[in-house]
Amino acid sequence: MTSQAAAEHTLLSADIVNRGVEASGPDAGALTFSVRVRRRLPDFLQSVNLKYVKLGYHYLMNNLVYLAMLPFLVVVFGVEIRSLGRPEELWRKMWDKATYDLAAVLGSLAVFVFTIFAYFLSRPRPIYLLDFACFRPSDDLKISKEEFIDQARKSGKFDEASIGFQSRILKSSGIGDETYVPKSIMDPTIPNTATMKEGREEAGTVIFGALDELFAKCHIRPKDIGILVVNCSQFNPTPSISAMIINHYKMRGNVLSYNLGGMGCSAGVIAVDLAQDMLQANPNNLAVVVSTEVVSFNWYTGKKRSMLIPNCFFRMGCSALLMSNRMWDYRRAKYSLENIVRTHKGGDDRSFRCVQQEEDSQGIKGLSISRDLMEIGGHAMKANITTLGPLVLPLSEQVMFFATLIWGYLFKNSNKNKSKSGGAVTTAKPYIPDYKQAFEHFCVHAASRTLLDELQRNLELSDKNVEASRMTLHRFGNTSSSSIWYELAYLEAKGRVSRGDRVWQLAFGSGFKCNSAVWKAVRRVRTPTRHNPWLDSVDRYPVPL
């Protein structure tokens, strides 16, 4: 077996599937089974790339260089003071025998004050998350898996082969029977839902619903918002969605608005990163970040199977969050933003084409999902997680991780020499960092059950660590860039977030991109009594998938 074939073999997993009792043919009445081979995430922590570790330490040192100098200056100052004699003698010299020039004293004081002032101005402003809201559609938009297939058949938009394929995908998707879809996609009187009218109607429903809840929770007026960032990957009308929001709420004329399109399911973290940069550049400001996806605009009614997969997973949803850089907002904030790490693999052609919007052979537009998605996503996550590690892992984990990484690098070089000389080759098992020591809560993008299973196995997470992601997938489906906020809402509804807890939001999407955001709870988050999408169902969760 060649090295390439061996590498490909490690990315495959086989499952024995019970296909039930054969209804007809020579094997009628007998149980039948089949072997299903599927791709899985690579063991990306077993082959860590040194350059991403170096990048993480580079970020870390940029932030710690000033703090590292402070103990050195204190030691030097202490040595100088000790060389002058005892404190009583120093005091006597200063006040009994010394004469001072008023100009010199005032000048020294001014330099000291200016230095302190410059230090605080140069520090990045703390960014706070005051609150967030996740939209829950009305109950008349709920649809079970059985109703989904039944209505798809009645709509006349799919042939039987396409319906059967979607039915099989839904059964193993991890999605429950209470997700939400727009009525237009199953309406036989609407042959094409990818229209501006349908897109604007759905966008307005979910976005204005989320923003109304956010403004009510935070007791602020839309005119108080100075920065607006909106992300929606597929639906990008003119005027933009951000302009729709400004028009609907009659926001002030100098609001700084940004509209991100085509950025995929990881755009929620990108939008937060942009809002953070704008808040750093504009003091005493409030920023609103809106993350959503318009399901009806990308609904696919053709026969290509790779383009039918998104129909089975994507559901209605939207999140809106309020961020602030005002110091006095610390007391009412829920979280502070600690780190954001973004990874983009778009330079690789396979990664770039992994998730792509295109037309099929019949000219029907949809979103095509490559069969290499698991492998490509794994490599992107490996790069992102390795870069994030030095910023968040405890010192003990970093020492073990870095030592075994160098040891493995040395073993690799020695193995090359041994293989050339015909000697025995030894292997060093890498140390997998325990990310559970860095975070109390995990919010991993709820893309599919298979991906969550593989990610849990790779990072050695417990069932409770991925509970929020699994239950969000079951209750709301894949809501794209807003899913990580439905997961955080689940943790709050369960009353699990305490002061000082760290939350890791990990999202990935087309491009191919993988992005991480780390939040720290400023205070204990009380169990919500209203404005939470889980209030009517949280007592039923978790449920087995």
**Residues sharing a CB contact under 8 Å with residue 260, sequence separation 6 or more, in sequence order:** 229, 230, 231, 232, 267, 270, 271, 274
Identity of the amino acid at 365 = K
379 tagged catalytic: no
Q: How far apart are CA 336 and CA 500, in angstroms?
A: 10
Annotate 168-177 with b (16+ C-beta within 10 A) or e (fewer): ebbebbbbbe
Instruction: Give me the catalytic one of 232, 265, 354, 443.
Output: 265
Instruction: Give me the catalytic one of 231, 474, 514, 532.
Output: 474
**Residues sharing a CB contact under 8 Å with residue 387, sequence separation 6 or more, in sequence order:** 52, 53, 55, 56, 59, 341, 343
Separation in Å, CA 214 to CA 131, 219, 418, 482? 7, 8, 63, 14
Contact 131, 339 (CB under 8 A): no
Contact 333, 261 (CB under 8 A): no
441 tagged catalytic: yes
What phi and psi values does residue 65 have, to the nearest 5 degrees? Answer: -60, -35
What does 353-386 look like in DSSP terms, one character per residue?
A: TSEEEEE-TTS-EEEEE-TTHHHHHHHHHHHHHH
Taking residue 490's Cβ as centre, other Cβ atoms within 10 Å add up to 28
443 tagged catalytic: no
Q: How far apart are CA 516 and CA 479, in angstroms?
A: 18
Which candidate, 431, 335, 348, 443, places its Cα nearest to that of 389?
Answer: 431
Q: How far apart are CA 210 and CA 320, in angstroms?
A: 6
Instruction: Give me the catalytic one of 311, 384, 478, 532.
Output: 478
What phi and psi values does residue 507 have, to the nearest 5 degrees? Answer: -130, 150
Q: How far apart are CA 391 and CA 344, in angstroms?
A: 19
531 tagged catalytic: no
**Residues sharing a CB contact under 8 Å with residue 403, sequence separation 6 or more, in sequence order:** 431
Return the DSSP state at 482.
G
474 tagged catalytic: yes
CA 213 to chain centre: 22
Q: At CA 318, angle to CA 375 and CA 275, rounded to 5?
A: 80
58 tagged catalytic: no
Taking residue 284's Cβ as centre, other Cβ atoms within 10 Å add up to 13
Q: At CA 301, angle to CA 296 and CA 303, rounded to 5?
A: 145
Q: At CA 443, angle to CA 439 and CA 447, rounded to 5?
A: 145
Residues assigned a catalytic role: 265, 344, 441, 445, 474, 478
